[in-house]
Structure 1
Amino acid sequence: MKKSFYLGWVCLFMVYTNLFAQEKTAHVEQLEEVVVTATKFAIKKELVGKIIYQIKAEEIANLKGKSVVDVLDNIAGIQINGTNSSAGKNKSTYIRGGRDRQVLVLIDGVPVSDPSGVNTTFDLRLLTLSQIESIEIMNGAASTLYGSGAATGVINIKLKKSSNKPISLNYQTSIGTNNSQNDSKINLNDFNQNVTVNGTLNKFTYFTSLNTSKTDGLSEALNENSAIKYESDALKAINTFVRIGYAFNEKFNIQLFNNYDKDVYDYDAGAFTDSDINNGENKQLRFGLTSNFNYTKGSLSLTTSYNKIDRMFDSFNSWANTTDHYEYAGKTTLVDIVNNYKFSNEIQLITGLNYQKQSNLTNSPYGNIEDDLANYNTIDPYATVIYNLKSGFNINAGVRLNNHSEYGNHLVYNVNPSFNFSNEFRLISSISTAFIAPSTYQLFSQYGNVNLNPEENKTIEAGLVFSKNQLFEINSVFFYREEDNAIILPDYVTYQNATETLNAKGVETSLKINALKDITISLGHTYTNKSADLDYIPKNKFTALIETNSIKNTYLSLRLKNISKRTYFDQWGTGENINLKSYNLVDIYASNDIIKNKLTLFAQVNNIFNEDYIETIGYTTLGRNFKIGLDFNF
């Protein structure tokens, strides 16, 4: 492990020193960047008192062959458990020490969730990177704009736009290995292909995409002591997306969208325990409408959507020597109307009304949950004032009244002042609250408790942003979050509210250097300290990326990730604290435009030093693996 750590840093140092002579001398023009997630409408990045991490289209173009969780796991403040495990392993997203149910995922600004799940969280495996244009991540509470669930962060995933040409075709295919550290055979077990047809015909736009993938060859459970080789656990997935739009004029447009996604997977019986029986299937049907109307002083938008997720799985019951069958259906209906009115260049008011209805239908050997019982709705009015002064002072302040059918009214607020001392330096701060209702599973399942109280969060943060002519930019934010009435399962019998106040605090820092010709260096560090260690969140996480376009038509990158020692309380196993060693992962990536803008060849090697490490106790991790692919544009 130490060897790979030193070798990884040697690689980074050699790349840096060998290319240092290519220092930039030309002036870099400062471009105005805009973000959407902070206000639901486009706003200049420097007017936002939050750190917004942007993964732009050109960056995603240099990540071909990666998964969505691969990309997100390299962002400061985010930890995704299961990223380096088998493809069928559940992926849990943690931001700022919070649990995955405190993170809200948006697709083109539309919230997505699974009401039938324990934590109602959206399964990121239902998305493929080849359909995504860009991603914005806003760490910190955002419940005033986005409602219950956005307690620690928002991930806004924007799907690709239609081409300006009448017809454009993209086809991407890749093949690779899917090995553990103990398997060095070149068995091609990772297949992926995606085809997209899109374009613009006068005022009409269309976009269609189909993605299929299959991953096999790796056992989910870790084979530590058994002499019998564990069977491999496969994942097969299909993702479809269709969007059509019509622009009536420059002021008014409307878009209809539809997703159908399905994955079928094998899984094992738990930590260190194989199974050749357990399997599952997830299906998502999502459709809706978005429209925008621009008028002299502002704009009005409407979003409606319906999302249904069906999950089933078979699990071998060793006590009864039978196979148990489980079925879950979660439905979400959403309507969001929001208006942005600009009183002047300094003041704008965002007002909205959000309606959501969620239901859960469950059939299991341990009891059923009927959707006429397990459902609730919310009707939330909200308002945010944005005040930007020429002196450099900015404030974003908002309130939201969560009107929950089961839990009544809860007021949440956000006050987010910032000050721009210059175009290069600004200070940011915020104080925010959040309200999270129990899931229908936590209320009505065999572990349910209808007397649960909602979770309540309060977060403060303060930080700075400093940049210099786009040659480099550094941002660093301190955060502190308190959580009351956290919903826990202390005895594995009944959900309860924690009696103590939980807290998490830490610092997120990222540094991007563009001061060398054709070379970019990105560094990130996250320190997280929690009052309880029930999750696999490291105290320190460090990421480093060096990328270059110095070779004609070629992109090269070297990435390092360091995860510190972790202490995990094994609640359902030994009942003791388990100390997990630190580990380092080093990846390399390359792509070449064989025919510029037409044909690209890409290749990657992950975990090049074949590091042996533990991500989740009892589960297999990925060793050294290779992938190669082609991307065609017509």
Structure 2
Amino acid sequence: MRRSLILYSAASAALFALPAFADDASDVDAVIITATRIPAIVAETPGARVIDEDTIEQRGAVFAADILADVPGLSIARGGPFGLTQLRMRGVSPGKTLVLVDGVPVNDPAEINGAFDFAGFDLGDIQRIEVLAGPQSSLWGSDAIGGVIAFTSRELDGLRAEAEAGSFDTVRGRLSAGVANERYAVGAYASYFDTDGISAADEADGNDEADGFTSTTLGANGRYAFSPTVTVDARLRWSESDTDLDGFPAPTYALADTDDTTSSEQWSGFARLTARALGLDHQVSVSASDISRATVSAFPSVFDADRQVLRWQASGVSADSRIDYAFGAEHEDVSGALSSGLSEELSTTSAFATGRFQLSGRLTLSGGLRRDDTEDFGDATTGRLSAAYELGGGVILSGAVGTGFKTPTISQAVCDFCFSSEPFPVLRPEHADSREAALGWVSGDGRFQGRATVYRLEVQDQITYVTDPGFNSYYVNIAETRTDGVEVEGRAALPAGFDLSLAYAWTDAVDATDGSRLLRVPEHSGSVTLGWTGNRLSGALIVRGEGDMGDAGGERDGFVTANVNAAWALNEHVSLTARIENLADEHYQRLLGYGEPGRSGYVGIRLRY
């Protein structure tokens, strides 16, 4: 814990010392985020972050969880190196963060919380990741009660290949190719990952059976412009994974080596027509996602779920370019079949509108409103209002208030895993209220920037699984959870090709009914990344830390780990790569009882044509 506190103090001190490293002036374009439905500037959008392709490559991230852990306010809960991997945003439970892949919702409707499993989500085809923290139901509906993470695939013009091998008999390969121009684009990619792994149950507890993991991802994209105003495009992504797990065998029912396994198959895709008509840009799309999961254990299970969304959106800009706006409607059908034999279908019809108004040269107002009509849980209206004011000297003051809602998941709606001699409680949708304020600064030459955010996020009627004194188990709505938080982040372009990125989050997440802390939410977390880019050599040193954290069955100790990676360009087409994870060979756990790899190393080659 002492080392964690030292890391956090150093990160905060370095952030506020950034102006001391100023160097040559350079122009930097504003970073744009599109998950807001109308393009918005990140610095003017509270809770917004963008991770671009260069950052993903510089940090050597293979899977999404490898880099999302660096976003302040996000905590990764992972049952071993490749076990179930879920994300909590600003302290709220898994399932309250909507995950989009090229605009397609991919959350698992059959999972208890409706959460997305990030284990094995390969970044080989991803061009950028956008994160919107705080309730975004006014933009995206039920699953966005706590925030949104949107992945955007690249449209490749050329050939890329990558191969890597290393510790635990790990092999990885990626291959993608495509042609893209203004008239048309077509491309495809494939990624493969295989490792013998380590024991999912912590080896320090006497577990030594290696739990392997294999993942394959395939994808394709196409686009064709019939004219300057009419375009069609489509994407398809398929993945399959097999994971060895550890379970809770009799007679102790404590986490230990077992022969448990789980396999999953998921695909998602969309087809979209974009056209200019009546002075507006229209998009009509149909998207779908499907996931099947099977677990072999003492308590085997099979889950199947699918989702289809039909969406229309129109957007425009006022004659004086001071107002951007979008509005539209969508219909979503979700179904799931559970291993218990129970199944359910849910549908929602929605209408939404959002806009941004440049009130003056310094003040920008944004707002959104959405109405969701659910088939089984009534209607809900959600909204969000934000403002950004340029104080001068590169300082921007921004703030937002918003509401969100989430309907019970299929598993909760049919009360899967419930045991009671009495009728099960009737569940209500969860509702959220959020307030946040941010103070950001960008130097005149764009080389230094930072932002500090304070927020409060309250969730009423949060659904949880309980066992009463009569040993009846079921889902209930609890009164309220509350998260107060501070997020601090900064970046500096230093001399000699170095750059420094810092992130820190203080997250106070509690059950407001009794004041107890919510489990699996570290109060302190942070990261420091020192990157460098030269004529041939580039790479990064990433240090991450979390404080102590309450978990089911006890307290998980805090930890600090470090990774380093580098690439050496032999020429403009070929680079050699190397990375070392857990540089100090730290013994740590993300979740209590589950192991994480010790020091490991990997070498590879990267081709770009």
So what's the TM-score if we normalise by structure 1?
0.87
> C-alpha separation between the residues in 1 aligned to 2:327 and 2:300?
46
The answer as to whether partners of 1:428 and 1:463 remain within 8 angstroms in 2 is: yes
> C-alpha separation between the residues in 2 aligned to 1:81 and 1:170?
32
Counterpart among 511, 522, 529 of residue 490 in structure 2: 511
> C-alpha separation between the residues in 2 aligned to 1:422 and 1:497?
50
Which residue type is aligned with residue 633 of structure 1? Answer: R
Which residue type is aligned with residue 566 of structure 1? Answer: M
Output aligned runs, 1:305-324, within 5 Å: 305-316=287-298, 324=299
- Is 1:346 paired with 2:341? no
Q: Secondary structure at the match of 1:116?
A: coil
- How far did residue 295 of structure 1 move? 5.4
Counterpart among 264, 270, 278 of residue 288 in structure 1: 270
Question: For the structure 1 residues 273 and 377, does the alpha-carbon distance in structure 2 shift closer, same or farther, using more than 3 Å as the test?
Answer: same
Output aligned runs, 1:113-262, within 5 Å: 113-163=107-157, 168-177=158-167, 188-200=168-180, 203-226=183-206, 229-262=207-240
Unaligned 5+ runs, structure 1: 178-187, 317-323
CA offsets, 1:346-402, max 9 Å, x none? 123211101110001123xxx3113xxx01100010111311123321111111111
Larger deviation, residues 582-591 vs 494-503: 494-503
- Is 1:76 paired with 2:46? no
Give the corresponding residue for 2:514.
Answer: none
- Is 1:407 paired with 2:377? yes
The answer as to whether partners of 2:565 and 2:579 remain within 8 angstroms in 1 is: yes
Which residue type is aligned with residue 29 of structure 1? Answer: D
Output aligned runs, 1:88-103, within 5 Å: 89-103=83-97
> C-alpha separation between the residues in 1 aligned to 2:65 and 2:524?
19
- How far did residue 582 of structure 1 move? 2.1
Give the corresponding residue for 1:49.
Answer: 45
- How far did residue 158 of structure 1 move? 0.7
% of aligned pairs identical?
18
> C-alpha separation between the residues in 2 aligned to 1:79 and 1:397?
28
> C-alpha separation between the residues in 2 aligned to 1:501 and 1:445?
21
Give the corresponding residue for 1:184.
Answer: none
The answer as to whether partners of 2:354 and 2:369 remain within 8 angstroms in 1 is: yes
- Is 1:559 paired with 2:537? no
Give the corresponding residue for 1:427.
Answer: 397
Give the corresponding residue for 2:410.
Answer: 440
Question: For the structure 1 residues 273 and 497, does the alpha-carbon distance in structure 2 shift closer, same or farther, using more than 3 Å as the test?
Answer: closer
- How far did residue 24 of structure 1 move? 6.0
So what's the TM-score if we normalise by structure 2?
0.91
Larger deviation, residues 293-302 vs 277-286: 293-302
Which residue type is aligned with residue 253 of structure 1? Answer: T
> C-alpha separation between the residues in 2 aligned to 1:391 and 1:10?
37
The answer as to whether partners of 2:292 and 2:305 remain within 8 angstroms in 1 is: yes
Counterpart among 565, 583, 588 of residue 613 in structure 1: 588
Q: Secondary structure at the match of 2:138?
A: helix
The answer as to whether partners of 1:211 and 1:239 remain within 8 angstroms in 2 is: yes
Give the corresponding residue for 1:623.
Answer: 598
CA offsets, 1:410-453, max 9 Å, x none? 11111112212237111111111111000110121443546111
- How far did residue 458 of structure 1 move? 0.7
Counterpart among 235, 245, 249 of residue 267 in structure 1: 245
CA offsets, 1:256-278, max 9 Å, x none? 22222110111111485334431
> C-alpha separation between the residues in 2 aligned to 1:590 and 1:343?
47
Output aligned runs, 1:577-616, within 5 Å: 578-596=554-572, 598-616=573-591
- How far did residue 473 of structure 1 move? 0.6
> C-alpha separation between the residues in 2 aligned to 1:412 and 1:348?
20
> C-alpha separation between the residues in 2 aligned to 1:32 and 1:225?
50
Question: For the structure 1 residues 11 and 328, does the alpha-carbon distance in structure 2 shift closer, same or farther, using more than 3 Å as the test?
Answer: closer
Counterpart among 450, 460, 463 of residue 487 in structure 1: 463
Give the corresponding residue for 1:183.
Answer: none
Which residue type is aligned with residue 461 of structure 1? Answer: E
Question: For the structure 1 residues 408 and 515, does the alpha-carbon distance in structure 2 shift closer, same or farther, using more than 3 Å as the test?
Answer: same
The answer as to whether partners of 2:73 and 2:505 remain within 8 angstroms in 1 is: yes
Question: For the structure 1 residues 536 and 351, does the alpha-carbon distance in structure 2 shift closer, same or farther, using more than 3 Å as the test?
Answer: same
CA offsets, 1:91-117, max 9 Å, x none? 110111111211011111222121111
Which residue type is aligned with residue 511 of structure 1? Answer: G
> C-alpha separation between the residues in 2 aligned to 1:26 and 1:201?
36
Output aligned runs, 1:522-537, within 5 Å: 522-532=501-511, 533-537=517-521
> C-alpha separation between the residues in 2 aligned to 1:28 and 1:478?
30
> C-alpha separation between the residues in 1 aligned to 2:7 and 2:427?
51
Q: Report how many residues are paired.
A: 588
The answer as to whether partners of 1:297 and 1:343 remain within 8 angstroms in 2 is: no
Unaligned 5+ runs, structure 2: 419-423, 512-516
> C-alpha separation between the residues in 2 aligned to 1:357 and 1:607?
43
Counterpart among 298, 305, 326 of residue 301 in structure 2: 326
Question: For the structure 1 residues 72 and 360, does the alpha-carbon distance in structure 2 shift closer, same or farther, using more than 3 Å as the test?
Answer: same
> C-alpha separation between the residues in 2 aligned to 1:493 and 1:534?
22
